[in-house]
């Protein structure tokens, strides 16, 4: 995966319904070259699927990043599936651990009650020894955090029946062509296109989910505790992006303490060691901890679950 592939993934994340022609103008390559790159990313498993995400404001949710430590006696995939059975959790990854098992999670929760329920769910699972959860800071239009459901200026309300008809087609394939949606729903292609734009204006994202470790690369998580007297946390993420433009993927920023989980994608561990050494020596760094993520399992977003529930409640299921 090269720099163009990375940029392509981010463009697809912003709007996976963008045409190959539009993507070609952004990337500076031909539409056919874009199509080939997308096909390769799908074949290697880096593109996991195309999906729908609702903005945080539409779901009335917040997001968190978590770490779960076990005694190591669990069957890893069974444990991952058990964790992912909670509808608030949409990603579970396994990371290297010197003793026992260790997992990272990404989740959405609604209010303090949802946060408490999620913590209790994780702590009471068999084999779990310790759980750390970090509610995340997600400002509006924060470019570094666009992999998460964003804040939106419009919170919308209930979807119309026409919108739900279109969403029913897109919930399993967010890139479904307008002509196919029109044939399935009986709507005109013009009305389908207008409805999709209305959904996007309200905070619905047509996006891509990725699995970076599928491309033969190493996913490295560097937990950075920051001295805010030296540099504000926002400037730290800007420094990471400018210092490591080819390796730095995204930051998870704690909302409660000066802590960043910086995600890097590297071709080998020698580069990861060099990155960690540079970060450790930075004047704003109090401490770092490095983890390597082995695998990642995806589960439905909370917004995706809610869309399917609304479709069912509207009597639009087959």
Q: What φ, ψ does residue 37 adopt, rounded to 5°? A: -65, -40
Is 82:123 a contact under the CB 8 Å cutoff? no
Is 123:110 a contact under the CB 8 Å cutoff? no
6, 21, 18, 24: which is closest to 174 by C-alpha? Answer: 18
Give the SS3 label for residue 151.
coil
> How many CB atoms lie under 10 A from the CB of residue 33?
15
Residue 53 per-residue DSSP state: E
pLDDT digits (tens), the chain, 318 positions? 888 998 999 999 999 999 999 999 999 999 999 999 999 999 999 999 999 988 888 888 999 999 999 999 999 999 999 999 999 999 999 999 888 999 999 999 999 999 999 999 999 999 999 999 999 998 654 444 444 444 444 445 689 999 999 999 999 899 999 999 999 999 999 999 999 999 998 889 999 999 888 878 899 999 999 999 999 998 999 999 999 999 999 999 999 999 999 999 999 999 999 999 999 999 999 999 999 999 899 999 998 999 999 999 999 987
Instruction: Please write the tens of the pLDDT for every residue from 265-278.
Output: 999 999 999 999 99
Cα 298 to Cα 209: distance, rounded to the nearest angstrom: 8
Give the SS3 label for residue 68.
strand
Domains of the chain: 1-43 (1.10.10.10), 216-294 (3.30.70.1150)
Instruction: Please write the tens of the pLDDT for every residue from 188-247.
Output: 999 999 999 999 988 899 999 998 888 788 999 999 999 999 999 989 999 999 999 999
Burial category of 219 from C-beta neighbours within 10 Å (exposed 0-12, middle 13-18, buried 19 and up): buried
């Amino acid at each position: 995966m090269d720099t163009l592939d990375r940029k392509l993934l981010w463009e697809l994340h912003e709007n996976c319904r963008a045409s190959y022609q539009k993507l070609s103008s952004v990337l500076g390559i031909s539409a056919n070259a874009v199509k080939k790159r997308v096909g390769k990313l799908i074949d290697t498993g880096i593109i996991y699927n195309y999906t729908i995400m609702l903005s945080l404001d539409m779901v009335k949710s917040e997001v968190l990043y978590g770490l779960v430590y076990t005694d190591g006696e669990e069957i890893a995939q069974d444990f991952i599936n058990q964790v992912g059975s909670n509808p608030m959790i949409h990603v579970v990854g396994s990371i290297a651990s010197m003793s026992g098992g260790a997992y990272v999670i990404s989740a959405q929760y609604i209010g303090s009650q949802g946060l408490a329920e999620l913590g209790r769910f994780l702590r009471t699972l068999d084999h779990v020894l310790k759980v750390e959860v970090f509610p995340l800071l997600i400002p509006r239009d924060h470019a570094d955090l666009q992999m998460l459901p964003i804040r939106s200026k419009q919170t919308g309300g209930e979807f119309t029946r026409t919108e739900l008809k279109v969403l029913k087609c897109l919930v399993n394939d967010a890139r479904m062509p307008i002509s196919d949606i029109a044939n399935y729903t009986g709507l005109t292609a013009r009305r389908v296109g207008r409805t999709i734009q209305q959904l996007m204006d309200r905070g619905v994202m047509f996006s891509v989910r990725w699995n970076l470790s599928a491309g033969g690369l190493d996913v490295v998580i560097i937990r950075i505790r920051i001295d805010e007297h030296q540099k504000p946390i926002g400037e730290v993420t800007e420094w990471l992006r400018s210092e490591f433009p080819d390796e730095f993927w995204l930051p998870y920023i704690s909302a409660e303490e000066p802590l960043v989980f910086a995600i890097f994608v590297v071709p080998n561990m020698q580069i990861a060691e060099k990155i960690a050494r540079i970060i450790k020596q930075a004047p704003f760094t109090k401490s770092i901890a490095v983890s390597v993520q082995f695998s990642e399992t995806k589960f439905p977003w909370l917004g995706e679950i809610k869309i399917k529930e609304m479709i069912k409640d509207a009597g639009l299921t087959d």
